[in-house]
Structure 1
Amino acid sequence: MDWIAKGISTAIVGVTLAALPGSAMASDQEYKLVLTSEAGDRDSPLGKSMQDWAAQIEEKSGGRMKVNVFYQGELGGQQELFDQLVKGNVHMMITWPQTSYDERVGVNYIPYLVLDWDDAIRSYGKDGWLREVVEPVYTDMGLKYFGPYPEGFGGIATKGRYALSKEEAGGMKVRSQPIFPLPQTIQAMGFEATPIDWAEVYTALQVGVVEGDSSNVIYWDYEYFRDQLDYFVQSSHNFSSYALLMNGGTWQKMDEEDREIISSTAQAIIDKQFKDAKSEDDKWIAAAKEAGMEYIVPSAEQKLAWINEVRATVWPQIEEKLGADIMNKVRENASLPK
């Protein structure tokens, strides 16, 4: 296994690769499942949500299902973890899914897809139009999709200076998640997009490889990089949303009762996050401002200029990769600027 070659402890591997019989399981089957994410320590909101999901699974199964939770960096980087989820060595993740297996995953990251909280809840919710677009993509990748884990609207966090227009952004190197079409979005907004994995962002900021971070809600920039960043511009170019996923092979081997335990507890986590996400985001905006980070909301005219530029430049690139069917659905449902 790749993990052994990378030196991961045999104890963890033993848990991760717990044997599962090939036929459907009875409801007395015992499980040792691995749940992880590429971001968030145990005290972060995401870390606490993973703990909550694991605890609910164990409780509902009467202890038959044991869930071992691993936090950011403990089992590898963003792409590596997603690879292991697809392979089945990691059973469950709350993650920003990678586009390396299917570029259509990029529908999660279409810029300026939704423009306010009401629109985001309507579009990303259980009965929202986005689910019928994204769920088949995950199925084709061999993954079970339970739903989104919304955080809020992303922005541009920088040090030393900030930008509110394409012209002002010229020459500013800003970190982007290495996921299409986020680097393309940041580039269209006028910045010099530099794709960097989450685990390397602090060092990149510290040594000056980049002047800022992008596409995260303010929590991540405040909590992890507050000593490096001075400004947070609420560009809201993306709606930051993780996905609750399970390896499809693991899911298929479960019987209906155990699938219900996993899916119902996943939905409970999703429902709670939809309820709490905006107030959680507001809390961290206030905390960042209190700590001295300047929080800047572009004017309606400034935001409209970015919306028009990004939709005109990036949406055609997305259509080339994701296909006309998906983008037609997007254009039918995406909000118009007010």
Structure 2
Amino acid sequence: MNKPFTRTLAALGLALLLPGLAAHAEERSFKLSAGDPIDAPGPQGAKLFSEHLKASSGGALNVKVFPSAMIGNDVQMLGALPAGTVEFALVGAPTLVGLVKEFGVLDLPYQFNSPAEVDAMLDGPMGQQLLAKLEEKGLVGLGFWEIGFRDLTNSKRPIEKWEDLKGLKIRTVQSPIFRTFFEHLGANAQPMPINEVFGALEMHAIDGQENPISLIATQRFNEVQKYLTLSEHIYTSYVLLMSKKTWDSLDDAQRAQVRQAAEQARGEQRAIARKANQDKLAELKDAGMQINALSDEQRQRFVEQAKVVTEQVRGNIGADFVQAWQAELARVRESH
């Protein structure tokens, strides 16, 4: 074989190989949608996730965060993700109940006693079972992040006992268990996307809403709400979601980089959320909100009503799953 012919073959082989190498090294840009303002703990965690992923992928995987429901609210994101038109979203876990009924177990009122219990359950086998159920819906669950324990605000009166909720129009997240709980307490539950709540409060279309302290502050609800009750009635998490279509387009190394970045950001985001839920309470008080905590006696009366609601909705979630969840929660309590 003569040398010119050998060189021609080598050049041809290199030409065929180079496009593949170029494609493999090609930078990719993704959109991550979040419903809350950029200074809220969720989008702050999303920014950290973006930074970690860019670093671990050597700049090949780039995520741009779109806060404040700029490209859609949580419900809209659940439609966009499977198609891959949006690649990532940070959604409230209650939104997922419509897709996977077992996610309703996270919405049961007064079931967690501490953040440590929450972390053990969500990061443990039962939480992972929930995330695994998302794949058949075209979603990949990358972990649970923190929204937090929810408190009540309204413009009418302090809530000192559950009967004080009677007749109040309270915005809830779009989960049937929230609606069942508040209607059981005598309130008029109004499911609504978070980006519509301020306007509804301002126009007095609703009397109140319920969210963790950090979101009450970053959503500026104190400007249109006078009373804040530290009820801590339901714990809510975010779920970091990825389009399965996009996930399937990544190679194994890139998937590992995504999971690593999500896990790293998860702990950081939870720390941000927990600090914000402490720090923002003083800001809300300084801003003029009238704040009250439930007495131990009245809190226990809320807990008793929560037990009634849990029994009512158990079948809707899946009785066997609820039983397994509660057994694991009891085991976690014993180990802590």
> Higher Cα Rg: structure 1 or 2?
2
> 2:273 and 2:137 mapped to 1: Cα distance?
28
1:106 aligned to 2:104? yes
Paired position in structure 2 for 1:120: 118
Residue 208 of structure 1: aligned partner? 204
1:243 aligns with 2:234: no
Whether the 8 Å CA contact 1:143–1:247 is kept in 2: the answer is yes
Deviation readout 1:197-242 (Å, 9 max, x if unpaired): 212111211111111111x101222332111111211211111210
How high is the TM-score relative to the length of structure 1?
0.84
| 1:188 counterpart = 2:188 | no
Q: 2:302 corresponds to which letter in structure 1? A: W
Which residue is equivalent to 2:160? 164
Contact 1:218 1:232 in 2 (8 A): no
Q: Tell me the SS of whatever aligns to 1:274.
A: helix
Give distance in 2, aligned partners of 1:258 and 1:333: 33
SS for the counterpart of 2:237 is strand
Q: Quick one: percent identity of the two aligned structures?
A: 22
Q: Check whether the contact 1:158–1:212 (CA below 8 A) recurs between aligned residues.
A: yes
Amino acid at match of 2:212: V
Aligned to 1:36: 33
Cα distance change, pair 271–27 in 1 and its aligned pair in 2 (3 A): farther
SS in structure 1 opposite 2:171?
A: strand
Paired letter, 2:259 = S
Q: Distance in 1 between matches of 2:98 and 2:146?
A: 22
Tell me, what secondary structure is at the counterpart of 2:134?
Answer: helix
The equivalent residue for 1:265 is 261
Is the 8 Å Cα contact of residues 42 and 147 (structure 2) preserved in structure 1? no
Change (3 A) 1:187 1:153: same
1:70-149 alignment, distance < 5 Å? 70-97=66-93, 98=95, 99-124=97-122, 126=123, 128-149=124-145
* Equivalent pair of 2:92/2:238 in contact (CA under 8 Å): yes
Unaligned residue ranges in structure 2 (runs of 5+)? 1-21
Q: Which residue of 2 aligns with 1:19?
A: none
AA partner of residue 62 (structure 1):
G
Alpha-carbon deviation of 1:52? 1.8
Letter in 2 for 1:74: M
- The answer to whether the 8 A contact 2:146-2:238 is kept is yes
Quick check: 2:44–2:269 contact (8 Å CA) kept in 1?
no
Contact 1:85–1:247 (CA<8 Å) still a contact in 2?
A: yes
Cα pair distance change 1:187/1:334, threshold 3 Å: farther
State the secondary structure of the residue aligned to 2:223.
coil
The aligned residue for residue 228 of structure 2 is 232
1:114 maps to a residue whose letter is F
What one-letter code is carried by the residue in structure 1 that aligns with 2:192? Answer: I
Q: Indicate if the aligned counterparts of 1:109 and 1:180 stay in contact, CA closer than 8 A.
A: no
Greater alpha carbon shift after TM alignment, 93-102 vs 233-242: 93-102
d(CA) in 1 for partners of 2:251, 2:33: 23
2:282 to 273, 282, 286: 286
Does the aligned pair in 1 maintain the 2:40–2:214 contact within 8 Å? no
Evaluate the alpha carbon distance shift between residue 256 and residue 162 of structure 1 in structure 2; reply closer, same or farther with a 3 A threshold.
Answer: same
Structure showing the higher helix proportion among its residues: 2
Following TM superposition, by how much is the alpha carbon of 1:27 offset from its aligned partner in structure 2, in angstroms?
A: 4.9
Which whole-Å deviations, capped at 9, do the CAs of 1:68-105 have from their partners, x for residues lacking one? 22112311222112211133211111111423322222
- Counterpart of 2:215? 220
SS of the residue aligned with 1:174?
Answer: strand
Name the SS of the counterpart of 1:87 in structure 2.
Answer: coil
Q: CA deviation at 1:334?
A: 4.2
User: Partner of 2:98: helix, strand, or coil?
Assistant: coil
**Considering only aligned residues, what root-mean-square deviation do their CA atoms show, in Å?**
2.1
Q: Offset at 1:304? A: 1.2
Gaps of 5+ in 1: 1-24
Amino acid corresponding to residue 246 of structure 1 in structure 2: M
Q: 2:169 touches 2:208 (CA, 8 Å); kept in 1?
A: yes
The one-letter amino acid paired with 1:35 is: L
Moved more, 40-49 or 257-266: 40-49
Distance 1:221 1:166 in 2: 21
Q: 1:129 Cα shift?
A: 4.6
TM-score, normalised to structure 2's length? 0.85
Q: What is the CA-CA distance between 1:283 and the residue it aligns to? A: 0.6
Residues 285 and 60 of structure 1: CA distance in aligned 2, closer, same or farther (over 3 Å): same
Give the letter aligned to residue 31 of structure 2.
V
Contact 2:169 2:207 in 1 (8 A): yes
How many residue pairs get aligned? The number is 307
For residue 49 of structure 2, what is the aligned residue in structure 1? 53
* Structure 1 range deviating more: 168-177 or 136-145: 136-145
CA distance in 1, matches of 2:235, 2:164: 23
- Aligned partner of 2:261: which letter? T
